[in-house]
Chain A
Amino acid sequence: MAGGDGAGKGSPGRGHGTGGCVAAVELVGVEKHYGSVQAVRGVDLRIEPGEVVAFLGPNGAGKTTTMDLVLGLAAPTRGQVSVFGMPPREAVRRGLVSAVLQSGGLLKDLTVAETVAYTARLFPSGRAPEEVLERAGIAAIAGRLVGKCSGGEQQRLRFAMALLPDPKLLLLDEPTQGMDVEGRRSFWAAIRQDTAAGRTVVFATHYLEEADSYADRVVLVRRGRIVADGTAAEVKALAAGRTVRATLAEPDVATLRVLPGVDRVEVRGSTVLVHGTDSDAVARYLLTRTPAKDLEITALGLEEAFVALTGDDQEALGTGEGRRRR
């Protein structure tokens, strides 16, 4: 763990002067490289106590890496990370922060109860094992070996362990992965109940719907950068509007960009795609001022908007190739 401690040294010992209130999480100019892979490329983020924040992004966006940095599991290549004004390791040591990690983290040959008991011993002032088992809805299977539990049950066990320290900050990395619809709903119900007490929650997800229903704030990440940050409503607004598609040999991108309501212009060969809130104005311009033909107007669904925001193009998503390009 030498790496984690080293990371702490450079971190600031107190909040960054914004009204004296210590941020739950503060990332300043954070970069993380793994060899030639740039997993995080310059992230500035401040999360206030009590916020429920969703990290939304495609595979390989850097969500897990960012969480690792906040937990002190990895040291940033550049920049500073602090949690409640302390180095991440210190916050972990005090049980201020805990997490449901994306994968692994369980021993197959312990029972559910033993796993929780083991962790509970490390948090002398944490919650009682029975209480968190109840909270996570796995009290009935306490005697079962972890290796015999279903994926959803294991996920609940991870959640139970994360609740033990009674953390001020809870990080959840794709917590409902592998759960069915009902499991997902009751899982979030449990989290909701729990965050009523003013807990800060940061969760990573691929599900726009999950981010929308449970987060106050949505941070869209793509290729190690934050591409959008706002309330769920604001992010949904990004998806509002329509796309006008037309065949046009040499579109005047600069003019298209400044048309009323236009937020994105994309050229694919001889096709131009213009996204904005006022599709009528775009259509009128294209049909009257340019030789555009085959005009089509479509409304973008939420999922498509998400893909448009978080991926350069569909092909690049999730492939190592795509991530290394440029």
Chain B
Amino acid sequence: MSGSPQLPGASTASLDPQARSVPPLGGFSPGLVAIELRRLLRNRRTVIFTLVVPVLFFLLFGLNSAYATNRVGDGNESAFIMISMALYGAVLATASGGAMVSVERLQGWSRQLRITPLQPVAYIAIKMATSLALGLLAVVAVFAVGVLTHKPAMPLGTWLASGMALWLGSLLFAAFGLFVGYLLPSENVMQIIGFSLMLFSFGGGLFIPLSQFSHPLRVLATFTPLYGLNQLVHYPLVQGGFHWSWVANLVVWLVLFVAGAAWRFRKDTARV
């Protein structure tokens, strides 16, 4: 009889194989990302913390009139602060996107998805893409407000380069969000993410320049997860010396977060 192409030898005569196609890309589709993004944006807390707060921080800390005249690399200090705040927004956004898995496990949605053809890797890809989409909104929000205030100044290429670096680099924190989301199946996971990212932001020098830290604290700060990324996203603006230790910091944390998320993900077969 008509044997299925995917299962040679299996007796599937009573079934119609062509009516039983498996979704392409393991179930990943832009439509699913759109639904996920709409869901995230429906959450008022997420919108406030990822889109509104970074903009407010920029308006509070980035508009000092001296900052518009203080030169940094090809631009000014206001642009420098805008990039810091955009990074803060982007990492909050991607971490929130990753941490969605926590609530989804709690509500049994992950289990429900396991009785669909959605492949686990595709599910993670959907989370990553959703995180990136929200991250992009966060970057665009801060940059757009920056443009409207006329204070930050840097060459167009630098806007684009640092924007891209910010956006893609923030994917590191999508992995962080996934890890924490799988580790802590709790409704409070967002508070924990918010608190950790606040700490990381200080450690990375996003809020206060590291030069104002005491020496031991400064050394410690260079090992925190936002340090390398923060240096890298400012590089297009600041230029000057490039340090491979920034890249090393980023790569090591990426490996740790991805390994952590993968480890918890594998354990995630328990009944919710």
Contact = CB atoms under 8 A, between A and B. Distances in A.
A46 interface: no
A106 B103 CA distance: 11
Interface in A85-135: 85-86, 90, 92-99, 101, 103-110, 114, 117-119, 121-125
B35 A110 contact: yes
A230 interface: no
B14 A118 contact: no
Contacts of B39: 107, 109-110, 114
Interface in B8-24: 9-15, 19-24
User: For the complex, would chain A's binding face be called helix, strand, loop or mixed by DSSP majority?
Assistant: loop
B20 A96 contact: yes
Interface size class of B (residues with CB under 8 A): 35 or more
Contacts, number: 122
A283 to B, nearest CB: 49
Contacts of A117: 31, 35
A106 B10 contact: no
B111 interface: yes
B29 interface: yes
Contact of B269 (A4, A85, A95, A161): A4
A66 to B, nearest CB: 13
Given A96-B15, A105-B112, A168-B15, A122 B27 contact: yes
Interface string B250-272: 00000000000000001001011
A49 B14 contact: yes
Contact of A84 (B15, B38, B116, B266): B15
B108 interface: yes
B238 interface: no
Contact of A122 (B11, B111, B118): B118
A71 B115 contact: yes
A183 interface: no
Interface residues of A, number: 49
Contacts of B103: 107
B34 to A, nearest CB: 10
Contacts of B15: 84, 96, 168
A1 B114 contact: yes
B22 A93 contact: yes
A22 interface: yes
B73 interface: no
Contacts of B19: 125
A85 B11 contact: yes
A95 B117 contact: yes
Interface stretch (A12-20, A220-228, A274-282): A12-20
B24 to A, nearest CB: 8
B32 interface: yes
Contact of A107 (B20, B104, B118, B120): B104
Contact of B10 (A1, A14, A101, A103): A14
Interface in A252-275: none
A2 interface: yes
A125 B18 CA distance: 9
Interface of A: 1-4, 13-15, 20-22, 49, 68, 71-74, 84-86, 90, 92-99, 101, 103-110, 114, 117-119, 121-125, 161, 165, 168
Given A96-B20, A107-B103, A119-B116, 15 more contacts: A21-B14, A84-B12, A84-B15, A94-B20, A94-B117, A96-B15, A103-B108, A104-B109, A104-B111, A104-B272, A105-B108, A106-B109, A117-B35, A122-B116, A161-B112
25 contacts: A1-B269, A13-B9, A13-B10, A14-B11, A15-B11, A20-B11, A22-B11, A73-B111, A85-B10, A86-B12, A94-B20, A94-B117, A97-B115, A99-B115, A101-B115, A104-B111, A105-B107, A105-B108, A105-B112, A107-B107, A114-B35, A121-B29, A124-B24, A125-B19, A125-B21
